[in-house]
Amino acid sequence: MPQIAQLSATYASQIFWALIFFGFVFFVVGRGFVPKVQATVANRDKQIADDLAAAEAARRAAEAEEANWAATSNKQRAEAQALIAKAKAEGTKASEARLAQAASVIDARMAEADARLATARAQALTEIETVASEAASDIVARLAGLSVEGDAARAAVKEVLHG
């Protein structure tokens, strides 16, 4: 095994060069480049984290904006609805008033017409009574030869007519 057979002849050289080369690796590569690489990675991670945070903030802002807009539009829609409802109510009220007015005019005319009808009927009734009492007294005079007083005939006719 050369590792042992050559030990006494080569150990100094082996240890010396191992220290030299490992020292070079440690001081130049390990202490020189590795921190730089680590800094690069850390920088990149930080930048990515910052970008993500910025994107998140932008998203939040957009969401707030949208909520704001939704609230405004809801409010405006509600206002418009209220306006429409008010206009509708006013229209209904106006048409009701006009309907009521027209109805009262019609009622008045109907009442007037009713009154006229009643008057005409009463007149007709009295005329019928007069004619009937005259006819009755004529009939009595002709059949029985009795002359009946106008008032008595009228009362008799009235009694028959009205029961």
Partner 1 sequence: MAEQGKVDPMHQFMIEPLFGTDQWTIAGHNIAFTNSALWMLISVGVLFAFVAGGAKGQTVPGRWQVMVEGLVGFIDNLLAANVGPKGKKYVPYIFSLFSFILFSNVLGLLPLGLFGIHPFTATSHFTVTGVLAILSFSIVLIVGFARHGLHFFSLFVPHGTPAWLLWLIPFIELISFLVRPFSLALRLFVAMMAGHVLLEVLSSFVISSANSGVLWGAVVGLPSFGLMIAICALEILVAGIQAYVFALLTSLYLNDAENLH
Residues at the interface with partner 1 (CB under 8 A): 1-3, 6-7, 9-19, 21-22, 24-26, 28-31, 33-41, 43-44, 47
How many angstroms separate the CA atoms of 136 and 146, rounded? 11
Cβ count near 154 (within 10 Å)? 18
Q: Rank residues 47 and 147 by Cβ distance to partner 1 and give the closer one.
A: 47
**Cβ closest to partner 1, residue 31 vs residue 93:** 31
CB closer to partner 1, 42 vs 118: 42
Question: In angstroms, what is the minimal distance from the CB of 72 to partner 1?
Answer: 42
User: 152: number of CA atoms within 13 Å, CB side?
Assistant: 7
The structure tokens listed for 100 are: 């009521």
Shortest distance (Å) from residue 53 CB to partner 1: 17
Length of the chain as a residue count: 163
CB of 7 to partner 1, least distance (A): 7
Considering the complex, what minimum distance in angstroms separates the CB of residue 31 from partner 1? 5
Taking alpha carbons only, the member of 122, 119, 117, 151 closest to residue 136 is 151
Query: Closer to partner 1 at the Cβ: 6 or 126?
Result: 6
Residues 136, 157 contacting (CB under 8 angstroms): yes
